[in-house]
Chain A
């Protein structure tokens, strides 16, 4: 009779793999901290003389434009931090072949993807929040930006980016189960999703279309309205657009919600199906 191996829970294995990546990325936090302090000092020196904390007549309002610009900054920062971390933790392991050592242990594709996602989410979240919060700390301290609303906005952008990252990673499982090989690695597909989610916001699309039409020399008031209408429809596929629109309603003077919040159920369906098929995909997809 063969003795049973020591009990090993999946969570222990997943955390062991995730911690390996997290403990090797301390320098992310160092670089983020130094960059954020530099940005914060610049912000303070520029705005230090304009404190509005004592000026009761000034009432900051999160109009759609303010939400859009601040949210855009937070979306880019969180997407960069999480996307680069995930690419380093997952994409590099696949490219260098070191993932061949991980798959020799009792894990499946879901365990590996989850470990990498946890590590990237942990590292990317801390890094991006250091950058955003420390950079804006002087502005919040000086009451140029309301603290609660700004932190809510950063948190919402981070949550949306995490959602996009995880959906993109698990969509790679779906693709692999269909074509029988790892056509696109989870980090590649997640990176593509993070990029498209910003590009397909109404602001992003409008900027691109405006630029194209301006170069063609055809800008008119009617054209701008047409761009606004068209991009508003297309942007419904962007989780960032949906979140920013909801935030504008929550923080701003008037409630405004997207007509159809399609991305959430579709994303959850991809996550669930990607996890379901991930259990069945043989791990030699990494070594073929």
Chain B
């Protein structure tokens, strides 16, 4: 999928402004931003549900402006709030949308069995959707998407209301699903979970892309280089690390230090200096999370972040 200069204006509102995006084969691409940033509008444009005011986008080689209906032959879409046919039985619901996705006969029934097994819901197959819990309804919606042969999935908060065990299984299932050169376009407000699942992140604020890249790229670009260091001898490590240029160096526990480096490239000097001094390095990790990146990427730019802002 590639989009160039996509803009979308509604009366009195510019929902998207010159958005450029690419989703590569086999990757999970995440689009994140605050409420009202334009994520849902972006999905609508990229799936042909609404026409862009400006710009072009192609999904699986199909122009979304010229052939919006054809685009949806290649994509599976799941929006954040599932509105389901409450009176339909779970199995009938999946069977119906399997047919909408083009499955027929034995293939349809085989896929139905696979999806029920993945969702661990065969016991609910003949229950009416209206009688299911919120978490089970979310699985119904995920099941609907899994019933298709889509090349690109648009998933908007797919794991909300789903328990941890099932989230892990679904993440593994979706990761395996990518193997055939497929891709996932993912949005969520849970960045900590997304960090375990998404390959590349893009951040959207006020309809514009403000940052895009892998978690490592984005942390290096947007966060202060703060590191958490766990060692065998704290007092000796403090003495050694004072030799490395830093904004701040402090002890944060019985065997841990936090250091705010002048440059991220100095991180490798920490390990080398401690080893040479005979201090056992038990853990060395960057402190910033993708939530910190989110804040940096989506909030109005002021002065550079103070040391330790990412911790």
Within 8 A of B (CB), among A53-100: 96-98, 100
B102 touches A20 (CB 8 A): no
Interface core residue of B48, B49, B51, B76 (most chain A CB under 10 Å): B49
Question: Which A residues lie within 8 Å of B149 (CB)?
Answer: 5-6
Question: Which A residues lie within 8 Å of B96 (CB)?
Answer: 16, 20
A-side interface mostly:
loop
A-B contact pairs, 28 of them (CB 8 A): A2-B60, A2-B61, A2-B181, A5-B74, A5-B149, A6-B102, A6-B149, A8-B73, A8-B102, A12-B99, A16-B96, A16-B99, A24-B88, A97-B83, A98-B83, A100-B83, A101-B83, A103-B49, A104-B79, A106-B69, A106-B73, A107-B72, A108-B68, A282-B48, A283-B49, A283-B50, A284-B44, A284-B49
A237 to B103, CA, bound (A): 46
Chain A 178-193 per-residue mask, 1 if CB under 8 angstroms from chain B, else 0 = 0000000000000000
A98 touches B51 (CB 8 A): no
A45 to B100, CA, bound (A): 50
A12 to B149, CA, bound (A): 17
Chain A 1-21 per-residue mask, 1 if CB under 8 angstroms from chain B, else 0 = 010011110001100110010
Known contacts A282-B50, A284-B49, A98 near B100 by CB under 8 Å = no
A13 touches B49 (CB 8 A): no
A12 to B96, CA, bound (A): 12
Chain A interface (Cβ < 8 Å from any Cβ of B): 2, 5-8, 12-13, 16-17, 20, 24, 96-98, 100-108, 282-284, 287
User: Which residue of A has the minimal Cβ distance to B85?
Assistant: A98
**A12-B102, A100-B79, A107-B72 are known contacts; what are 20 more A-B pairs with Cβ within 8 Å?**
A2-B61, A2-B181, A5-B74, A5-B149, A6-B102, A16-B96, A24-B88, A98-B85, A101-B84, A101-B97, A104-B47, A104-B49, A104-B79, A105-B72, A105-B101, A106-B71, A106-B72, A282-B50, A283-B68, A284-B50
Chain B 95-139 per-residue mask, 1 if CB under 8 angstroms from chain A, else 0 = 011011111000000000000000000000000000000000000
Question: Which A residues lie within 8 Å of B85 (CB)?
Answer: 98, 101
User: Which residue of B has the minimal Cβ distance to A285?
Assistant: B50
Question: Which A residues lie within 8 Å of B22 (CB)?
Answer: none
Q: Is B255 an interface residue (CB 8 A)?
A: no
A20 to B101, CA, bound (A): 14
A282 touches B79 (CB 8 A): no
Chain B 19-58 per-residue mask, 1 if CB under 8 angstroms from chain A, else 0 = 0000000000000000000000000100111110000000
Q: Is B193 an interface residue (CB 8 A)?
A: no
Interface size class of B (residues with CB under 8 A): 20 to 34
A24 to B99, CA, bound (A): 17
A85 to B44, CA, bound (A): 30
A179 to B76, CA, bound (A): 30
B74 touches A13 (CB 8 A): no
Q: Is B16 an interface residue (CB 8 A)?
A: no
B151 touches A2 (CB 8 A): yes
B84 touches A98 (CB 8 A): yes
* B279 shortest CB reach to chain A, Å: 54
Question: Which A residues lie within 8 Å of B61 (CB)?
Answer: 2
B87 touches A24 (CB 8 A): yes
B74 touches A104 (CB 8 A): no
* B18 shortest CB reach to chain A, Å: 20
* A186 shortest CB reach to chain B, Å: 18
A13 to B101, CA, bound (A): 9
* B132 shortest CB reach to chain A, Å: 15
Q: Is B208 an interface residue (CB 8 A)?
A: no
* A109 shortest CB reach to chain B, Å: 10
Question: Which B residues lie within 8 Å of A282 (CB)?
Answer: 48-51, 68
User: Which residue of B has the minimal Cβ distance to A110?
Assistant: B69
A211 to B143, CA, bound (A): 59
* A143 shortest CB reach to chain B, Å: 45
Q: Is B144 an interface residue (CB 8 A)?
A: yes
A13 touches B68 (CB 8 A): no
Question: Which B residues lie within 8 Å of A105 (CB)?
Answer: 72, 97, 100-101
User: Which residue of A has the minimal Cβ distance to B100?
Assistant: A105
Q: Is B70 an interface residue (CB 8 A)?
A: yes
A6 to B98, CA, bound (A): 12
A7 to B73, CA, bound (A): 9
A97 to B85, CA, bound (A): 10
User: Which residue of A has the minimal Cβ distance to B83?
Assistant: A97
Question: Which B residues lie within 8 Å of A101 (CB)?
Answer: 83-85, 97, 144
A256 to B71, CA, bound (A): 54
A13 touches B69 (CB 8 A): no
A13 to B70, CA, bound (A): 13
Question: Which B residues lie within 8 Å of A12 (CB)?
Answer: 99, 102
A282 to B48, CA, bound (A): 8
Question: Which A residues lie within 8 Å of B103 (CB)?
Answer: 6
A106 touches B70 (CB 8 A): yes
A261 to B154, CA, bound (A): 52
A105 to B87, CA, bound (A): 21
Question: Which A residues lie within 8 Å of B51 (CB)?
Answer: 282
* B184 shortest CB reach to chain A, Å: 15
Shortest Cβ-Cβ A-B pairs, 5 listed: A284-B50, A97-B83, A6-B102, A104-B77, A106-B72
Question: Which A residues lie within 8 Å of B72 (CB)?
Answer: 104-107
Question: Which A residues lie within 8 Å of B70 (CB)?
Answer: 106
Question: Which A residues lie within 8 Å of B181 (CB)?
Answer: 2
Within 8 A of A (CB), among B181-205: 181
Q: Which of B48, B77, B87, B100 contacts A16 (CB 8 A)?
A: B100
